[in-house]
């Protein structure tokens, strides 16, 4: 059965401490006045009240139970007092960091990748954290690992021809992937009363056994892309040159001379090495 947190209003611990001190003084005076019965009663009452005192720091709570029954959660600060028979279990409400270990997971394409994340979380519902799961800290660690593995399998590591245009990948959509991870963690942590404050990927790389192969593939894709841009730009420049020559009537070129000019310009513009000019002292046909 899912439990929800119930607020508990405790009493001022300073008032209770004052009563305990006054009872101790009263018992001492009764002993001096030869009233052992009153002194004993005062001591018994003081001893009974004293265990009800407890201290809470800022962003700390106390879960109170009575013989296994949940009474409520005290989120007050300072010295507090509650019924002495209540069992008081302190629980921090501060934000906590979880640095997930580096996991080896297969991405959407089936390629092994290494992935890790840093998660900031804190307890939101103390009753769920204590009573609905056996160990909420262990629960958070296990569910975080499961969420990271599931996330990595939903996306490809990098862009490729087999992906749809604009499809998000782990590498190109780090912010969106982090938001998706946070959303999934929130759903998984809900059963333990835990809130996900933030989640970011801290490590993302191909597994060592395929890293070199994938690096060469990326380099080849980059070279092909660069060559494509160069050729496209060179064709545009040659086209502009031919149009300018024709419009200004600087020189008359037949189809064969245009072909030779285009060939020479493309060689110069597309070559990755410095070209050496050759002066033709004859004609194109000789």
Q: Where are the domains of the chain?
A: 11-92, 96-206, 212-270
Average pLDDT over residues 23-32: 85
Looking at the whole model, is its pTM more than 0.75? no
- Per the prediction, the chain carries an average pLDDT of 83
Per-residue pLDDT of 69-110, as tens digits, reads 999 999 999 999 999 999 999 999 999 999 999 999 988 888
Average pLDDT over residues 26-32: 83
**Cα gap 93→75, rounded to integer Å:** 9
Confidence of residue 37 (pLDDT cuts 50, 70, 90): confident
Residue 190 or 246, more confident: 190
Secondary structure element (H or E) that encloses residue 137, with its range: helix 136-154
The region, left, alpha or beta by phi > 0 then psi within -120 to 50, assigned to residue 171 is alpha
Number of neighbours of residue 31 by Cβ within 10 angstroms: 15
What CATH number should be reported for the domain whose range is 96-206? Answer: 3.30.479.30
Question: Tokens standing for 127?
Answer: 């009753």
Q: How far are the Cα atoms of 73, 206, 220, 238 from residue 229, in angstroms, in the given order? A: 65, 28, 14, 14
**Cα gap 74→266, rounded to integer Å:** 79
* DSSP assignment of 170-195: TTT-HHHHHHHHHHHHHHHHGGGTEE
């Amino acid at each position: 059965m899912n439990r929800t947190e119930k607020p508990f209003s405790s009493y001022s611990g300073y008032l209770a401490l004052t009563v305990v001190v006054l009872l101790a003084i009263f018992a001492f005076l009764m002993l001096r006045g030869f009233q052992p019965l009153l002194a004993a009663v005062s001591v018994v009452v003081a001893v009974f009240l004293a265990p009800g005192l407890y201290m809470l720091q800022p962003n700390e709570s106390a879960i109170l139970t009575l013989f296994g029954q949940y009474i409520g959660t005290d989120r007050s600060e300072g010295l507090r007092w509650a019924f002495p028979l209540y069992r008081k279990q302190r629980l921090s409400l501060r934000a906590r960091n979880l640095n997930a270990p580096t996991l080896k997971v297969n991405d959407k394409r089936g390629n092994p990748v290494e992935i890790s994340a840093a998660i900031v979380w804190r307890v939101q519902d103390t009753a769920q954290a204590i009573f609905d799961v056996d160990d909420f800290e262990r629960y958070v660690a296990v569910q975080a690992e499961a969420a990271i593995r599931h996330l990595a399998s939903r996306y490809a590591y990098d862009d490729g021809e087999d992906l749809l245009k604009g499809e998000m990948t782990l590498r190109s959509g780090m912010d969106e992937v982090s938001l998706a991870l946070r959303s999934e963690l929130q759903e998984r942590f809900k059963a333990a009363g835990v809130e996900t404050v933030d989640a970011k990927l801290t490590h993302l790389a191909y597994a060592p056994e395929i890293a070199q192969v994938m690096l060469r593939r990326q380099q080849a894709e980059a070279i092909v892309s660069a060559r494509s841009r160069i050729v496209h730009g060179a064709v545009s420049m040659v086209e502009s040159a031919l149009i300018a020559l024709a419009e200004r009537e600087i020189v008359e070129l037949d189809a064969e001379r245009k072909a030779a000019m285009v060939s020479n310009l493309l060689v110069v513009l597309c070559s990755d090495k410095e070209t050496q000019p050759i002066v033709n002292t004859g004609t194109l046909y000789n």
